[in-house]
Amino acid sequence: MIGRAAAQTGKGARDRMSVTRGDTERAARRIGGRIRRTPVFEAAPGLLFKMEFLQHSGSFKVRGAFNRVLSARERGEPTEHGVVAASGGNHGVAVAYVARALGVRAEIFVPEITSAVKVDGLRALGAEVTQTGAVYADALLASRKRVAETGALEVHAYDHPDVIAGQGTVGLELLEQTGGVDTVLVATGGGGLVSGIAAAVAGEAAVVAVEPERIPTFNHALAAGAPVDVPVSGIAADSLGATRLGEAAFEIAREQGVASVLVSDEAIARAREELWRDYRIAVEPAGATAFAALRCGAYRPREGERVAVVLCGANTDPSTLS
């Protein structure tokens, strides 16, 4: 039986491979025309928002999902049995979107904490949805059992090099659109986005992983020297609720010198409210997590530092914004 810790990591040699900028560039060519080139907004002098919440399916996740499935097809991996994914919500919505676009069946496993907005979005895209278990790791165990039964293609939420390379296209776009920044702040759960961006901007910008205090996957991995299980709770748990950072993501992020800062649920909630109040930007808690690091002082830019904040997801109930 696969334990929770093992279930958090990818399977096989490819999952242990590193990801380079070249991989992200190839991913950009592969998925070009299927994704949106999301805009960059200058919120204030030296502060840029990468508006990834405007992406298809409401989050960056569609980038990695497209790259995973299209790369698998190029390698001759079968997709006729459909795709299976475990998700806190956003990844599942992205995989369902990709499956519909590519004409394959999607089966998505989500934990019970997944918001109704995301479950409704999955079903609207035609995915078969199974809610099971308390946290993402439980859904992942169930999804892998289903893969073994059906022969469907697994599309891991964050710990596969093709997924990571796809997410890294956010960083490539950011560099092209801005002419370069000093630092990129990225909300982090399983680590796919932050490691992909770190690979894409290597040598050109620093990357900081921003994590909820109640889900410190990368922070604890850095302290331990390897991914470890952490408790999962708090307002961003349905998006950033990986029990354990991905193995591949950890190696890439550590190699690229990614730093970690932690923010409270209260800081995330205030940042989300500020984004709505001051900019009329409606994002979910995970989408506001990177911005929270600036607002609460967990990350303090140097004088003249040019900082980009990735606003990564908008799958939220707008009635919760005042």
What are 176-186's pLDDT values in tens digits?
999 999 999 99
C-alpha closest to that of 132 among 110, 152, 114: 110
* Residues 300, 166 contacting (CB under 8 angstroms): no
* pLDDT of amino acid 192: 95
Instruction: With cut-offs at 50, 70 and 90, classify the pLDDT of residue 25.
Output: very high
φ and ψ at residue 275, rounded to 5 degrees: -60, -40
How confident is the prediction for the chain on average, in pLDDT? 91
Q: How far apart are CA 280 and CA 273, in angstroms?
A: 9
**DSSP letters along 78-98, please?**
--TT-EEEE-SSHHHHHHHHH
Mean pLDDT, to the nearest integer, of 135-156? 92
φ and ψ at residue 129, rounded to 5 degrees: -115, 130
Chain mean position to CA 63:
10
- Whether 217 has a pLDDT exceeding 90, the answer reads yes
Least confident of 66-70, 179-183, 232-236: 232-236
* pLDDT of amino acid 145: 95
216-234 b/e (C-beta count within 10 Å ≥ 16 → b)? bbbbbbbeeeebebbebeb
pLDDT above 90 covers a percentage of the chain that reads 79
Phi-psi region at 124: left, alpha or beta (left = phi > 0; alpha = psi -120 to 50): alpha
Helix axes 21-31, 61-74, angle to 10 degrees: 90
Chain mean position to CA 112:
19
Question: In CATH, what number does 20-60+161-320 get?
Answer: 3.40.50.1100
Instruction: With cut-offs at 50, 70 and 90, classify the pLDDT of residue 135.
Output: confident
Please tell me which residue, 101 or 11, carries the higher pLDDT value: 101
Least confident of 35-39, 125-129, 168-172, 313-317: 313-317
Second-level CATH architecture of 63-154:
3-Layer(aba) Sandwich (3.40)
Mean pLDDT, to the nearest integer, of 296-316? 94
Least confident of 88-97, 99-108, 181-190: 88-97
- Whether 163 has a pLDDT exceeding 90, the answer reads yes
* pLDDT of amino acid 241: 81
Mean pLDDT, to the nearest integer, of 230-254? 91
* pLDDT of amino acid 287: 94
Mean pLDDT, to the nearest integer, of 281-306? 96
* pLDDT of amino acid 4: 37
Quick one: tokens of 186? 């990225």
Mean pLDDT, to the nearest integer, of 230-243? 88
Q: How many CB atoms lie within 10 A of CB 143?
A: 27
Q: CATH 3.40.50.1100 in the chain: give the residue spans.
A: 20-60+161-320, 63-154
Instruction: With cut-offs at 50, 70 and 90, classify the pLDDT of residue 137.
Output: confident
